Amino acid sequence: MPEASRNGTLPASSDALVSSCWYTTSPEHLADELCRLDVRISLAALRRCPAVFAAERPGSGSDEQALLAELGRLDRHIDLQRGNSVERGRFLGLPHLARLFRLSPVEEQLLLACFAPEADARYSRLYGDHEGNLAGRHPTVALLLELLGEDRETRTVARAALRAQSPLFHYRLLQLVEAEAGPSPELLSPLRIDPRIAAFLLEISGIDDRLVPYASLQIPRSQVAPLPGGARSSVDRMTAFVRHHLAAGDASAPVVFHLHGHDTATGRAVVHSVCRELSLDLLNVDMYKLAAAGPAASDLFWLVGREAVLQPAALCLDNFDIWVQDNDQTAAQRDAIFGALRHFSQLTFLLGRVAWQPGRLRKDLLYLPIELPLPDINARRSLWQDQAEARGIRSDLDYGQLASRYRFDAEEISDVLNIAAGMAYWRDPHSGTVTSDDISSACRAQAAPQAGFAAIRRIPRYTWNDLVLPPDHLRQLHELCNQATHRHIVLGEWGFDRRLALGNSLNVMFNGPSGTGKTMAVDVIANDLEVDLYKIDLSQIVSKYIGETEKNLDRVFREAQSSNAIVFFDEADALFGKRSEVKDAHDRYANIETGYLLQKMEEHDGLVILATNLRNNLDEAFLRRMHFVVEFPFPDEVHRSKLWQGLFPDEVPCGVDVDFSYLARHFKVPGGNIRNIAVCAAFLAAADRTEVGMRHLIHAARREYQKLGCPCTATDFGPYYELIKASHG
């Protein structure tokens, strides 16, 4: 920057102007602009107090005409150099700002005068001396008007350029120093250049300091995540569309792509790919963090929009879902966000999970919603394999089964592998070898649903050895698990998913009397598939208010989809009942709920199990949509004997008089009741501090019969009937 001369003399740097035919750098241009400002400051000092000016410069021979001549020479020199630079494509910061924000030459010079104290501290002293130290280091409106000359027309234009609605204040290039100042600057109002604009002119890299907690500038050179097959075509189509649309120039409406869906990782990869193809930088904003700024978010987002212009860069508003909520504060801030998009960004990406329409906010914008489906089975398999191998994780994992069991996107798979690596290191700090058990545990942790999910999480603990059923019924359950396990082959590799009209759901119904093992079978299946089991809490689903049941069901299936869990409806007839003839409004809405549930089951990409002991009460449409219907029969004597023997752990001390064959033959109850009898007998024996004997089992059986409302007859209790009579007496 030029060296300052004191006492209002001509600036020494005016004799050392850039002498080439054009400016090679922006600092060269600013140096000449500041030389011109020095002359204007000298002119203002001379006009304000000619006697003082002459006394301070005795014998110099300089007068107003000399200063005006010098100013004219500088005007011609700068205009020539600047024009030649623009023709050669040289970047000059001040003219660039003028083009971006449509500044007039007068507005450009006003901006430069406010910038000067940021470039060189001597201007703070000069402005302070000129104002009698009233303004400090910043120029007032009155001083700025003086610097532009005595011409009335120029001053009128300058005064208009310093109104609140002018580009200088509309785009927040200048700001009032006093926070409590009114909406428009007054003559004695000191002004300062915005810190980000000053940094831009000084060629300081980086984004606005005020945006650092919320935004980051990204240069998409490489892919952030693998692109599933369908996403590649989306990238090509979006890129071609943007090129065609922006070819119309300034007349084209800003483009806003709203990428929504569960697979936000693919969304980010698509955004990066489009920007890379278009050779655009990307200003990524975490809208969740921005929302935490409260009322200040609107002002911050205005700075975000301006930053996108300054870089220049496309905008990506990540985690946008938080801004689609319907409340007064969010609605007002949403208006400010879309207002900034109209002013600044030619290309914006909104990233979220929820589909949304902006309504009136789409005015003057080309708003294009694009759904991002989850990667299909083949894509998920590749994601698992690529990311596991990149981390050096064992290669004998069945990636196909992982893809079938867990509908994770690329980001979630990465999180799972990171969690698994942490578990492995905690278990064995020396080797840290990741095992399939680590992967399974990490998947369950990643798949846990959000708080408030209307379900009860059950930790699977039963195995196939605990399940007592006829051989054909067990084969049916194994076939069910095989379908869930090998979906990646049939649906993915063999292409059956292209033949299915709706979702790739697997719907199962378990039917049978209470206590026959339906819930245990669900537990066994969840354990075998290594997924979580969520028993739906019907009390939180069914509502007397119209439409609420459907909303609750939608949330159940949406959460189940994202958590990759088995959805288990116990006593399903309460929710899946037959549709009836419509006689009143209640019947109509009950039928709507049933129809809605049918639709959600078909669309769901996962395992849904219904359990009922009243099959005839279910709507026939549900039965047609079941892939498996497994009957759980009342156990015969052989199976009851297995149940009795299998219920007692090896640690339980059993007396020699315990006769499981007798119990199975005489007490014709299902497994649930047998379990109750066994547990009750164990507690009775523990209270007696002795081993479990027949007397404990007979007493427990009597209590179970009483609970069921069944008489205790000699036929059932046989030779032990005397024990019943004795305890009764």
Q: Scanning the structure block, which residue is given the tokens 């930088």?
A: 281
Q: How far apart are CA 269 and CA 228, in angstroms?
A: 10
Q: Amino acid letter at 589? A: Y
Phi, psi of 270 (to 5 degrees): -65, -45
Select, from the ranges 168-182, 194-208, 378-392, 576-590, the one with the highest average predicted confidence (pLDDT): 194-208
pLDDT of 111: 95
* Residue 281: HSE in the Cβ half-sphere, 13 Å Cα cutoff: 14
How do residues 14-64 score in pLDDT, each as one tens digit?
Answer: 455 555 688 889 999 999 999 999 999 888 888 877 665 555 555 554 588
How do residues 373-398 score in pLDDT, each as one tens digit?
Answer: 777 777 788 888 888 888 888 767 78
How do residues 86-142 score in pLDDT, each as one tens digit?
Answer: 888 889 999 999 999 999 999 999 999 999 999 998 888 888 877 665 546 788 888
- Reading the block at residue 380, the tokens are 């998920």
- Reading the block at residue 59, the tokens are 């014998």
pLDDT of 30: 93
> Which region, left, alpha or beta, applies to residue 634 given φ > 0 means left and ψ of -120 to 50 means alpha?
beta
Q: Mean pLDDT across the stretch 704-708?
A: 84
pLDDT above 70: residue 358:
yes
pLDDT of 64: 82
Q: How far apart are CA 98 and CA 285, in angstroms?
A: 26
More confident position, 77 or 712: 77
Question: Cα 17 vs. chain centroid, distance in angstroms?
Answer: 54
> How many of the other CB atoms lie within 10 Å of CB of 345?
24
- Reading the block at residue 49, the tokens are 């107090």
> How many of the other CB atoms lie within 10 Å of CB of 512?
21
Dihedral, CA atoms, 622, 624, 626, 627, nearest 10 degrees? -170
Q: How far apart are CA 80 and CA 84, in angstroms?
A: 6
- Reading the block at residue 41, the tokens are 């400051």
Q: Amino acid letter at 716? A: D
Q: Mean pLDDT across the stretch 230-256?
A: 84
Q: How far apart are CA 30 and CA 14, in angstroms?
A: 13
pLDDT above 50: residue 194:
yes
Query: CA-based angle 125:126:127, to the nearest 5?
Result: 90
Nearest to 444 by CA among 412, 422, 488, 466: 412
pLDDT of 12: 42
For 93-102, 196-205, 246-255, 542-551, which range has the lowest pLDDT when averaged over its residues? 542-551
Q: How far apart are CA 176 and CA 2, in angstroms?
A: 27
Phi, psi of 317 (to 5 degrees): -100, 95
Q: Mean pLDDT across the stretch 190-205?
A: 93
pLDDT of 11: 43
In angstroms, the Cα distances linking 617 to 36, 580, 623 are: 92, 11, 11
In angstroms, the Cα distances linking 392 to 385, 411, 424 are: 10, 18, 13
For 223-237, 465-479, 662-676, which range has the lowest pLDDT when averaged over its residues? 223-237
CB-based contacts of 126: which residues, under 8 Å, 6+ apart?
4, 41
For 298-307, 349-358, 394-403, which range has the lowest pLDDT when averaged over its residues? 394-403
More confident position, 522 or 593: 522
Residue 109 · residue 149 · CB < 8 Å:
no
pLDDT of 499: 67
In this prediction, residue 2 has a pLDDT band, given cuts at 50, 70 and 90, of very low
Q: How far apart are CA 288 and CA 690, in angstroms?
A: 63
pLDDT of 716: 72
Residue 666 · residue 716 · CB < 8 Å:
yes
pLDDT above 80: residue 418:
yes
Nearest to 535 by CA among 508, 569, 511, 560: 569
pLDDT above 90: residue 256:
yes
Cα torsion angle, 513, 514, 516, 522, sign: positive
Q: Scanning the structure block, which residue is given the tokens 């001549």?
A: 69
Question: Cα 628 vs. chain centroid, distance in angstroms?
Answer: 36
pLDDT above 50: residue 507:
yes
- Reading the block at residue 81, the tokens are 């150099």
CB-based contacts of 164: which residues, under 8 Å, 6+ apart?
170, 183, 184, 185
Select, from the ranges 320-334, 407-421, 511-525, 532-546, the one with the highest average predicted confidence (pLDDT): 511-525
Q: How far apart are CA 283 and CA 305, in angstroms?
A: 9
- Reading the block at residue 303, the tokens are 């700075």
Work out whether strand 255-260 and strand 281-286 pair parallel, antiparallel, or are unpaired: unpaired
Q: How far apart are CA 91 and CA 201, in angstroms?
A: 11
pLDDT of 717: 76
> How many of the other CB atoms lie within 10 Å of CB of 366?
13
Nearest to 198 by CA among 281, 310, 295, 280: 310
Residue 442's Cβ-count burial label (10 Å; 0-12, 13-18, 19+) is buried
For 187-196, 450-459, 595-604, which range has the lowest pLDDT when averaged over its residues? 450-459
Q: How far apart are CA 313 and CA 335, in angstroms?
A: 22
Phi, psi of 692 (to 5 degrees): -70, 125
Q: Mean pLDDT across the stretch 573-581?
A: 53
CB-based contacts of 501: which residues, under 8 Å, 6+ apart?
none
Quote the percentage of the chain above a pLDDT of 90. 24
Q: Amino acid letter at 318? A: D
Nearest to 200 by CA among 138, 119, 125, 144: 119
Q: What's the start-to-end Cα distance of the chain, in Å?
A: 111
> What is the per-residue burial (b if ≥16 Cβ within 10 Å, else e) of 525-542?
bbbbbbbbbbbbeeeebe
Nearest to 350 by CA among 370, 332, 365, 333: 370
Sequential DSSP letters for 445-508: HHHPPPTT-SEEEE-----GGG----HHHHHHHHHHHHHHHSHIIIIIIT-GGGG-SS---EEE
Dihedral, CA atoms, 395, 399, 400, 406, nearest 10 degrees? 160
Residue 14 · residue 70 · CB < 8 Å:
yes
pTM above 0.75, yes or no: no
**Cis ω before 195 (30° cut-off from 0):** no
Cα torsion angle, 703, 708, 713, 714, sign: negative
Q: How far apart are CA 293 and CA 280, in angstroms?
A: 28
pLDDT above 90: residue 283:
yes
In angstroms, the Cα distances linking 632 to 467, 515, 621, 625 are: 11, 9, 21, 19
Q: How far apart are CA 597 and CA 507, in angstroms?
A: 12
Work out whether strand 506-511 and strand 566-569 pair parallel, antiparallel, or are unpaired: unpaired
Nearest to 365 by CA among 429, 405, 300, 315: 315
More confident position, 506 or 325: 506
pLDDT of 280: 93
CB-based contacts of 220: which residues, under 8 Å, 6+ apart?
271, 272, 273, 275, 276, 280, 281, 282
pLDDT above 80: residue 406:
no
